Structure 1
């Protein structure tokens, strides 16, 4: 199980792969399993956006949600149990920051 990340300039079309490729700005596919493991440390009953990421489906954050989630990164880093999880969370933080500062953008969490 893994979670891939894609930053899009507009809301990506989930069912139209070709159309969603046109809006792709940046992606991260190399930390999928580590990111899923790091996010698994969160309880869905916790407040915030990151606990709501679906590891088996797709989750999208707009720029405002990305900004909120960016504030949750320090707490998530404290829960990481390995360097590979910390690297995955650092990559997530970079994409969240890009999303939060790019008007109209979306960060797409693509679960397995």
Structure 2
């Protein structure tokens, strides 16, 4: 159990998350949130295309 709410994405999880982010971005009306989603997508795409990499989101 992780008391801090950390989240780890490996290459496979990053691929799935990128697909979900694409769908969320289309429905997002707030420019600030959309920009955050696009920043996250950029990190996850780098993870997805780099063998053995992970993205760790720390905290809640």
Relative contact order (alpha carbons < 8 A, sep ≥ 6): 1 or 2 greater? 2
The alignment's TM-score, normalised by the length of structure 1, stands at 0.47
Aligned counterpart in structure 2 of residue 106 of structure 1, from 48, 54, 57: 54
**Paired residues, what number?**
57
**Which runs of 5 or more residues in structure 2 are unaligned?**
none
Give, in angstroms, the shift of residue 80 of structure 1.
2.4
How far apart in 2 are the matches of 1:81 and 1:111? 26
Aligned-residue CA RMSD (Å): 1.4
1:71 aligns with 2:23: no
Q: TM-score, normalised by structure 2?
A: 0.82
Give the greater-gyration-radius structure (CA).
1
Higher share in helix: 2
